[in-house]
A and B are shown apart, each in its own frame.
Chain A
Amino acid sequence: MSQPLSSVETPAVGLHTLRFELNGAPREVQVPGHRRLIDLLRDDLGLTGTKEGCSVGVCGACSVLVDDQVVSACLLPAAYVDGARVVTIEGLAPDDAHLSPLQDAFIRHGGFQCGICTPGQIITATALLRQHPHPSAEQVKAWMMGNLCRCTGYYKIVDSVLAAAEMGTTPVPREAVGITTD
């Protein structure tokens, strides 16, 4: 499947063809070598769930999964995901009628207020729970400390992750937390 191309700033800079899996679907795109993954996702592919915060790898707002590892999309050349499996916040629920257990738990346990850091928080927590399905509170803190939040004071984020760990991996209907799907 072909996607809109980013503009090439100078003719000297070659385009790279990337084939990768994005949220479960195969993608083929062309990007210049200096394109960052965050720009490919947001500007070229319209997946604006992933946020750009600090642009220097500190805040965690742009966290995405590449081959199950959480990384900073602001520090990764898009070309690095050629051949990889990429998951963004848009790819966690199986369909529009469901939420992942973490998404559900963040709603139920007040894991966010303004919401801008939430996609990164949930992506990092997803990587954590895949590696440690039943983490201790200390493990949760050690993993989540790289995702800054200026609203919650963090306790509710830790509560949300621990609650999600109790829920297992089965997706939850959106209606269960009062979200209607049009």
Chain B
Amino acid sequence: MQPFELHQPATLDEVFALLEAEPDETHLMAGGTSLMLLLQLGLVEPKRVVALRRLDGNLRAIRRVPDGGLEVGALASHRQAELSDEVQAYCPALAATFGHVATVRIRNQATVGGNLAHADPAQDPPPMLIALGASVAVQSRSGQRSLPLEDLFVDYLTTTLQPGEVLTSIRLPALAPGTRATYEKFLPRTQDDYATVSVAASLRLDADGRCQDVRVALGGVAGVPLLARPVADALRGQTLTDARVAEAAALVTDLVDPPDDARGSPAYKRRMARVWTERALRRLRDADGAQP
């Protein structure tokens, strides 16, 4: 590993100052699980690493917001999110999704915001967060902006974060009563593996059982976690018969562009993306009650 200077500032202002000094030579590190890998592999060789662990505890807080939504500080660990009463009360499927990431040991260390900023499209939380309509708050010296999570991702390990910006929190909207959600992780190898493909979905039916609202997002199938808008468009307002669900799920076939790796060929993953999208939608349609 190439030596680097490590800075551990206590305030965001100090972080911004360090980022401004030499933006191309500076990387931010939260839990370290991803950046330490990239550093050891020589994939990044910054002069300077800015550790965020000493920043204000608010950045690791998880809280409900008054409108019924949820705010997760970027430095909250996956383990913290998995076990959080607030996350559980907001949406049990989201808590379960955090629990699907790697192992207890990695979840202790890896942070929710670090995961998103790392932008690995095979990760578990991004599709679930996108399916629930999450946005991220980003701060810089010049202020704050917010963007839908799906707009954060550009490609493998590449985001729309600009030099000098820090992702500070993840915000989830209040879920309309009756919203159901699920995260389906296809894991044919080992329990701690990345998904071969994964599908997250949220669904709300009206009183007549028609689809009032639906969002479907996939992981491991492209350079980014993929929001499958055509699937939602095909289902909104419809009665979710088996045939209609199958037809809508088949639309992911042309949306995905899966990588060829040890988990399977692109053709195989494309089929699995369709199969697991169909399963996720049927599971939500058939779920008892309104618990998300």
Q: Is the CB of B33 within 8 A of A72?
A: yes
- A16 to B79, alpha carbons, bound, how many Å? 28
- A143 to B107, alpha carbons, bound, how many Å? 11
Is A86 an interface position by the 8 A CB rule?
no
Q: Is the CB of B6 within 8 A of A75?
A: no
- A31 to B192, alpha carbons, bound, how many Å? 32
Is A10 an interface position by the 8 A CB rule?
yes
- A150 to B164, alpha carbons, bound, how many Å? 45
Query: Which A residues lie within 8 Å of B33 (CB)?
Result: 57, 72, 75
Q: Which of B106-126 contact A (CB under 8 A)?
A: 106, 108-109
Query: Which A residues lie within 8 Å of B53 (CB)?
Result: 80
Query: Which A residues lie within 8 Å of B32 (CB)?
Result: 75-77, 80
Is A97 an interface position by the 8 A CB rule?
no
* B105 partner, pick from A9, A71, A79, beta carbons under 8 A: A71
Is B154 an interface position by the 8 A CB rule?
no
Q: Is the CB of A79 within 8 A of B108?
A: no
Query: Which A residues lie within 8 Å of B40 (CB)?
Result: 55-56
- A127 to B3, alpha carbons, bound, how many Å? 32
Q: A70-B108, A146-B102 are in contact. Are A75 and B192 (CB under 8 A)?
A: no
B48: nearest chain-A partner, CB-CB: A33
Q: Which of A50-75 contact B (CB under 8 A)?
A: 55-58, 60, 63, 69-72, 74-75
Q: Is the CB of A13 within 8 A of B5?
A: yes
Is B39 an interface position by the 8 A CB rule?
yes
* A16 partner, pick from B1, B2, B6, beta carbons under 8 A: B6
Summed over the interface, the residue pairs from A and B with CB atoms below 8 Å come to a total of 86
Query: Which B residues lie within 8 Å of A146 (CB)?
Result: 102-106, 192
Is A124 an interface position by the 8 A CB rule?
yes
Is A24 an interface position by the 8 A CB rule?
no
Q: Is the CB of B105 within 8 A of A72?
A: yes
Is A142 an interface position by the 8 A CB rule?
yes
Query: Which A residues lie within 8 Å of B191 (CB)?
Result: 145
Q: Which of B14-46 contact A (CB under 8 A)?
A: 29, 32-33, 36-37, 39-40
Q: Is the CB of A33 within 8 A of B37?
A: no
Q: Is the CB of A76 within 8 A of B5?
A: no
In the assembled complex, the CB of B28 is this many whole angstroms from the nearest CB of chain A, namely: 13
Q: Is the CB of B102 within 8 A of A76?
A: no
Is B49 an interface position by the 8 A CB rule?
yes
Q: Is the CB of A71 within 8 A of B109?
A: yes
Q: Is the CB of B37 within 8 A of A75?
A: yes
In the assembled complex, the CB of A6 is this many whole angstroms from the nearest CB of chain B, namely: 11
Is B8 an interface position by the 8 A CB rule?
yes
Q: CB within 8 Å of B: which residues of A? A: 9-10, 12-14, 16, 32-34, 36, 55-58, 60, 63, 69-72, 74-77, 79-80, 124, 127, 142-143, 145-146
Q: CB within 8 Å of A: which residues of B? A: 1-8, 29, 32-33, 36-37, 39-40, 49, 51, 53, 79, 102-106, 108-109, 190-192
Query: Can you show 29 pairs from A to B with CB atoms below 8 A apart?
Result: A13-B3, A14-B5, A33-B3, A33-B49, A34-B39, A34-B49, A57-B37, A57-B105, A58-B192, A60-B103, A69-B79, A69-B109, A71-B105, A72-B106, A72-B109, A74-B36, A75-B32, A75-B36, A76-B36, A77-B6, A77-B51, A79-B8, A80-B32, A80-B53, A124-B104, A145-B103, A146-B103, A146-B104, A146-B105
Q: What 5 A-B pairs come out closest when comparing CB atoms? A: A33-B6, A146-B103, A69-B108, A75-B36, A13-B3
